[in-house]
Amino acid sequence: MNFKALLKYFTAIAFVFNAIISSAQVENSIVLQDIVEEIAENSEDELDYTTLFNALENLAENPLDLNTASAEDFREILFLSEYQIFSIIRYRTKYHGFQTIYELAFVEGLDELTMKYLYPFVTVSGEKPKEKTNWKKAFSYGHHTVLGRYQRVMQKKAGYNISDSILQINTDKSRYLGSPEKYYLKYNYSYKKKISYGFTAEKDEGEQFFRGAQKYGFDFYSAHFQLNDVSIFKKIIVGDYVAQFGQGLTMWTGMAFGKGSGIDGMIKKPRMVDHYSSANESAFMRGEAASIKLKDFTITEFVSYKPLDAGIAQADTLTEEEDLVTNFLETGYHRTPGEIAKRHTIKEFVTGGNVTWQGEKMKIGATGIYYSYSKPINTNDRAYEYFNFNGKSNFNFGVDYLFNLHKVNIFGETSISPNGGVATVDGATFDFVPEFKMSALYRYYSPKYQNMYAQGFSEGGKTYNESGLYIGAEILPVKHLRLNLYFDSWKFPWLKYGVNSPSTGHEWTAEATYTPKRNIEMILRAKYETKQKNSSEEANIKEIINYNTSKYRYQLNITPNAEWKLKSRIEVSRYHRPDSTSWGFLVCEDIQYKPAKLPLTFTARIALFDTEDYNSRIYAYEQDVLYAFTVPMFYGRGTRLALVIKYDVTDNIDLWFRIANTYYADKTVQGSGLDEIQGPNRTEVKLQFRLKF
């Protein structure tokens, strides 16, 4: 062993002891929760993060070997940038492997926070010949997980209060046909990273259960069976799955992240095909999919056939025309006679494939997708819908790329539709020095581009009718201080809902995170956004006006010891348009207490809010039971109290209880329509159990 290797080894050992002394190692479950929470904190959408949490959990249970994992394997860790992945591989090549995971401290481009998050997902083991899978063990020695959840709003909604006398007059009266309870049941079996199978079942509040439209119990069922690394097959999936390729312009199902404070969030990290085990009823494929590995090529194919919820316009029988699909229902709710009438009214067939070539410093892929429907689609009755897809079938083809030029990564995708529509996105990240990183992205999505399964980087939420430029930076000017900045400017060349002409907009966000000590973190965040929409004045031709939204947040996180965790937050919002200005205010305190000698964890929130109108509303991520995620909207004036209790009965059984109450001081009636509640309170209760064996 030469002097350099010896020095590296003893320095790494010293780093290990220092990490142990300073308590850098934390429980995997806490780190997983922190990662998901950081993503959710920067989103105002109540997304289903179950799939993400499951993927991270599976990685934690089967950590990647730093000495043998490929670049593709490292991409499963979503918070790693391409440059960081390249640096890890380059370091192990230069020094003939890792001796310990704490050598990551010497890898160029890895900061302290990234390493903290990375430790649970990696390991170092001696080189072993590739073991032949014992499939008898694979089906017998894996891990089973069963999870069940019950939840309901305690106050009665108007949709459950329809009298019998009214129903006698109008039997089709809109109402909730089922009970107010929501049930969720999930089972999964996994053996290392070789096999996974399971099912998910869900009944939403207001849906029937073992009667009426739901004679078979739950309203939604999902199941999958997946094998990995079987001969030349990387993956074989039967059942429900997601398909994600390139930058999402040609094919992307499942959860897709939007703009956040981190500069790497704009680069999508596709999972190719992978099993689906969430409860979103419209974000998956159902059928079969497979990937094979041939040297540097990965070839993937997929086929899906499933029913969809849609509104149907009945055709005139005299003209013998076909029924037309006028809209899609993607909520998954089947509570009222109207929603049930739209349930599974059409069938969808989807097939496609991807070929990706992976080199040492570059990756190039091509994706094609074809989809058809049992009834023709006609959803362009309004002017802003002029370019919407009409017909029974369509296809898309796209090419994506990724080049690693040491500290510069260039990526993008271009996709086309048969009508001549084009969508393209091109970007780059620059890791100049550890203290300064930068990213830029340009996108152009033609108004003519038609794709039912595109989820590209966008402001409008759709991958068409948009062009824009995004620039972001991450700066570490001094020790303990991190700055995240981004500016995004966009244009909608065609009309949009509520905007009767082409429009423009821009936004910027600045976030400073200061960590003077390991257990203290302060965050200051400002966001400003300008958009355009129709004026509210009554006129045949509405004038387009500018409006802007400003949001300012201060957050203080303190972890005084292993038992307590405190989070204080103040947020102010301002909405301005030419004829009015409104303000919103939120202050909340989150407290987590985990007694050292008891298998209990208590998490509580108290929040006070005061917003002048809906436009100045505020969103704030809130702790929930495992695999459930809540981002409540604060609108009006009142208080919110929430309590989550976790009880670890044994190492394999845990129980969860959550109760949350919102009190509106300025309302005697809340909600509208069937969701209307009399009184100022809204209380929700959740009970959950998880069994692992």
Q: Which helix (H) or strand (E) holds 117?
A: helix 112-118
Residues facing residue 365 across a β-bridge: 356, 400
**Selection from 141, 273, 272 nearest residue 194 by Cα:** 141
Residue 19 has pLDDT above 60, yes or no: no
Radius of gyration of the chain (CA): 26
pLDDT at 6 over 70: no
Phi/psi region, residue 372 (left: phi>0; alpha: psi -120 to 50; beta: rest), is beta
Residue 327 has pLDDT above 50, yes or no: yes
* Model confidence pLDDT, tens digit, residues 336-356: 999 999 999 999 999 999 999
Mean pLDDT, range 499-513, rounded to an integer? 94
Strand, coil or helix: what is 151?
strand
Task: Write phi, then psi, for 359 (nearest 5 degrees).
Answer: -100, -170
* Residue 437 CB partners (closer than 8 Å, separation 6+): 263, 429, 430, 431, 473, 474, 475
Measured CA to CA, the distance from residue 392 to residue 377 in angstroms comes to: 6
Which positions ≥6 away from 244 have C-beta within 8 Å?
A: 251, 252, 253, 254, 268, 270, 271, 272, 273, 274
Band (415; pLDDT cuts 50, 70, 90): very high
Place of tokens 């596709």: 270
How far CA 273 is from CA of 171, 186, 244, 263, 666, in Å, comes to 45, 21, 6, 25, 49
CB-CB contact of 443 with 455 (8 Å): no
Which residue pairs, CB below 8 angstroms and at least 24 apart, start in 298-301?
298/72, 298/234, 298/272, 298/354, 298/355, 298/356, 298/358, 299/353, 299/354, 299/355, 300/243, 300/245, 300/272, 300/273, 300/353, 300/354, 300/355, 300/356, 301/351, 301/352, 301/353
Give the H/E segment covering residue 17.
Answer: helix 3-21
| Most confident of the ranges 52-56, 70-74, 289-293 | 289-293
Q: 54-70 burial, b if ≥16 CB within 10 A, otherwise e?
A: bbbbbbeeebbbbbebe
Are 148 and 689 in contact by the 8 Å Cβ rule? The answer is yes
Cα–Cα distance for residue pair 73/65, rounded to 1 Å: 10
Separate counts of helices (H) and strands (E) for the chain: 9, 33
Fill in the DSSP letter of residue 119.
G
Give yes or no for residue 451 having a pLDDT over 70: yes
Q: Contact at 8 Å (CB) between 90 and 104? A: no
Other C-beta atoms closer than 10 Å to the C-beta of 380 total 13
CB distance 304 to 290 below 8 Å: no
The predicted pLDDT at position 14 comes to 39
Report whether pLDDT(18) > 70: no
Residue with tokens 């809109």: 174
At 567 the three-state DSSP class reads strand
State yes or no: pLDDT of 22 exceeds 60. Answer: no
| Residue in this structure with the two tokens 């009399």, named with its chain if needed | 678
5 — pLDDT class (breaks 50, 70, 90): very low
Angstrom distance (rounded) from CA 70 to CA 132: 19
Question: Residue 543: its pLDDT value, please?
Answer: 84
Task: Say how many residues make up the chain.
Answer: 693
Paired residues of 585 in beta bridges = 572, 610
Over residues 67-83, the mean pLDDT reads: 82
Find out whether 645 and 657 touch, Cβ atoms under 8 Å.
Answer: yes
Cα separation of 187 and 200, whole Å? 7
Span 627-665, pLDDT tens digits: 888 889 999 999 999 999 999 999 899 999 999 999 999
**What three-state secondary structure class fits 528?**
strand
Three-state DSSP state, 672:
coil
Is the pLDDT at 512 greater than 70? The verdict is: yes
pLDDT of residue 626: 87
Full-model pTM: 0.88
Give pLDDT, residue 15: 41
Q: How far apart are CA 544 and CA 532, in angstroms?
A: 6
With vertex at residue 538, the alpha carbon angle to CA 536 and CA 543, rounded to the nearest 5 degrees, is 60
The number of CA neighbours under 13 Å toward the Cβ of 340 is 18
Q: Residue 71, SS3? A: helix
Tell whether the model's pLDDT for residue 200 goes beyond 80.
yes
Above 50 in pLDDT, residue 13? no
Give me the amino acid identity at 640: R
Concatenating the DSSP letter of every residue in 317-356 gives: TTTTPPPEEEEE--S----SHHHHHTTT-EEEEEEEEEEE
Largest CA distance in the chain: 92
316 vs 428, residue with greater confidence = 428
CA separation for the pair 549, 123 (Å, rounded): 45
Kindly give, in sequence order, each residue whose CB lies less than 8 Å from that of residue 30, ignoring residues fewer than 6 positions away.
none
The torsion angle over the Cα atoms of residues 376, 381, 383 and 385, rounded to 10 degrees, is: -30
Give percent above pLDDT 90 in the chain.
58
More confident residue, 360 or 533: 533
Which tokens belong to 80?
Answer: 């790693």
Burial-class residue 216 by CB neighbours within 10 Å (0-12, 13-18, 19+). Answer: exposed
Average confidence score pLDDT of the chain: 87
Mean pLDDT of 543-569: 94
* pLDDT for the residue 283: 84
- Residue 45 in this model has a pLDDT that exceeds 60: no
Which pLDDT belongs to residue 128?
Answer: 57
Collapsing DSSP to helix, strand or coil, 603 comes out as strand
Q: Which residue has the tokens 């086309």?
A: 416
